Structure 1
Amino acid sequence: MTAILNEAPAPASAPALAAVRARRPLGVLVAGTLLALVVIAAVCAPLLAPYAPDTIDLSSSLVGTGRDHLLGTDSSGQDLLSRALYGARSSLVAPLALLAVAGVLGVSLGVLAAWRGGWVDVLVSRLTDVMYAFPGLLFTVLIIAVFGAGMTTSVLALGLAFTPTVAKYTRSLALSEARKPYVDAYRVQGMGGIRICAAHVVPNLARAVLGYLVVLFGEALMSLATLSYLGFGAQPPSSDWGLMVQEGQAAIVQGAMLPALVPGTAIALVVVCFNVVGVWAADRLGRQ
């Protein structure tokens, strides 16, 4: 028996690895590859962008695709490729910050409600229900109206708007996790509730919660882009994709589609790819 326990696991065979790869849908591979390219382009924007994103050249206003400007220019003569590359940074980082805020608050409230139960659970449930009663965008706009427009305010406001969703999901998971035998075993050993939750319950929920947050990334990106489009999020001279769509809207009347089409396509592509990868990742991470 000792020999069997100490025996190192055999490395996976080639057929087994091939079977694992075969179970990964082609669409997930394509979406993951596109996302990886977008991330690389955002990181390497200073090296890839042919111009500075804020370089204005009125003599090149609304120039179409060509040798000097691969994706054309906007009404101020700014190179759209350069702006899209730099804009990928804020458009990808801001949703991560948003989900970090929602994740910390939502997981804390969800675990607290499931662990304590009673009036605490009722209070948290009613609080999340009240927040659900307001449309997320309206709730965010109200906060921005009080504290002012800007990307930081938008991230914090949307983080609060996403918190009830994460809290309800976490609570449903934590309720079943708190009933498992190992929790009673740690209690018998004299371990406090906070320590049990922080050291054992939350880590056991991390995989499923992380998968759920990946699914929410596309919605978070779209929400932030919507706020920037409405003028509540990123402010000029930012190259945020949502702001670029808003700035390029006027050029459509003049027959120039690229200033709005380039950032709009980038948003749609990243959101679709994250939804595809997110659903697959949530399914894999949710398996305990």
Structure 2
Amino acid sequence: MTAPALALAPSAVRRRRPVGVMIAGAFLALVVLAAVFAPLLAPYAPDTIDLSASLVGTGGDHLLGTDSSGQDLLSRALHGARTSLIAPVLLLAVAAVLGVTLGVLAAWRGGWVDALVSRLTDVMYAFPGLLFTVLIIAVFGAGMTTSVLALGLAFTPTIAKYTRSLALSEARKPYVDAYRVLGMGGARICAAHVVPNLARAVLGYLVVLFGEALMSLATLSYLGFGAQPPSSDWGLMVQEGQAAVVQGALLPAMVPGTAIALVVVSFNVVGVWAADRLGRQ
């Protein structure tokens, strides 16, 4: 093999992506585009009720059928993709802000601060996340906003522990001592240098958590704690379509349930690959 070929071989290997990751990524891109252009793609408004078309199967007028209220399932699924995709992003944003702050603070200060943060996250770990979320919802009321904030708090310990493990090794690097010698304060070093250096690894970890966040929010909506009618959230659609299964109509529950499953699996596939790539320093 010639020298140029040897030089190009490693970059070619780095660019190679598994077929499964490419398929999952393409599917997620289609889902995102469908959510963005839902008003243009949906054949009906998501809240249009037509009792004369109740539980209609697939056909020319309704490609994926209708629910018990005669609402077009394709239209509801397209519009529901917006809530089902945006809410997990907001949830993880809340958890990331709190978790990264606590993790970096614990690693930087050490001592009793590290012990306090560790004990706090251990206590939250010992408490089931879903039960913790339901208790918060019981106090502040059901709704998507409450669910996002409650689950954001529930995801915080996971991100805090992960960030702490990264920040411990980052804080020992020579450049930190160099900035200290120059008189730079700890808060400024963390905000300007430590946190940005951890961003790639943390972002990869958040991608992995996205599927779990989506599933958790869908579970809350299914239980009646998350999105409320007339929302087209996928979890709520599964709950509303459950009664139709008894009547032999599977589509009202199967369409949103399949959408949730495919998106979660796709994000897990892409997330593991992205975490591996982004985690490389």
TM-score, L = length of structure 1: 0.94
Question: Are residue 62 (structure 1) and residue 55 (structure 2) matched?
Answer: yes
2:8 and 2:276 mapped to 1: Cα distance?
24
**Pick from 147, 150, 154: which aligns with 2:147?**
154
**Pick from 160, 166, 181: which aligns with 2:174?**
181
**Pick from 235, 255, 258: which aligns with 1:242?**
235
Once the 2 structures are TM-superposed, how far is the Cα of residue 17 of structure 1 from its aligned partner? 5.9
The CA deviation string for residues 211-249 of structure 1, in whole angstroms up to 9 with x for no partner, is 000000000000000000000000000000000000000
Partner of 2:37: 44
The CA deviation string for residues 93-148 of structure 1, in whole angstroms up to 9 with x for no partner, is 00000000000000000000000000000000000011111100000000000000
Aligned residue runs from structure 1 range 129-278, under 5 A: 129-278=122-271
Once the 2 structures are TM-superposed, how far is the Cα of residue 19 of structure 1 from its aligned partner? 3.6
Runs of 4+ in 1 over 4 A off after TM superposition: 13-18
Partner of 1:76: 69
Once the 2 structures are TM-superposed, how far is the Cα of residue 46 of structure 1 from its aligned partner? 0.4
RMSD in angstroms over aligned alpha carbons?
Answer: 1.2
In structure 1, list runs of 5 or more residues that go unmatched: 1-9
Partner of 1:287: 280
In structure 2, give the amino acid aligned to 1:39.
Answer: V
TM-score, L = length of structure 2: 0.96
1:19 and 1:161 mapped to 2: Cα distance?
39
Q: How many residues align?
A: 276
The CA deviation string for residues 150-176 of structure 1, in whole angstroms up to 9 with x for no partner, is 000000000000000000000000000
Once the 2 structures are TM-superposed, how far is the Cα of residue 18 of structure 1 from its aligned partner? 4.4
In structure 2, list runs of 5 or more residues that go unmatched: none
The CA deviation string for residues 28-72 of structure 1, in whole angstroms up to 9 with x for no partner, is 000000000000000000000000000000000000000000000
2:169 and 2:12 mapped to 1: Cα distance?
35
Partner SS, residue 51 of structure 1: coil
2:44 and 2:8 mapped to 1: Cα distance?
47
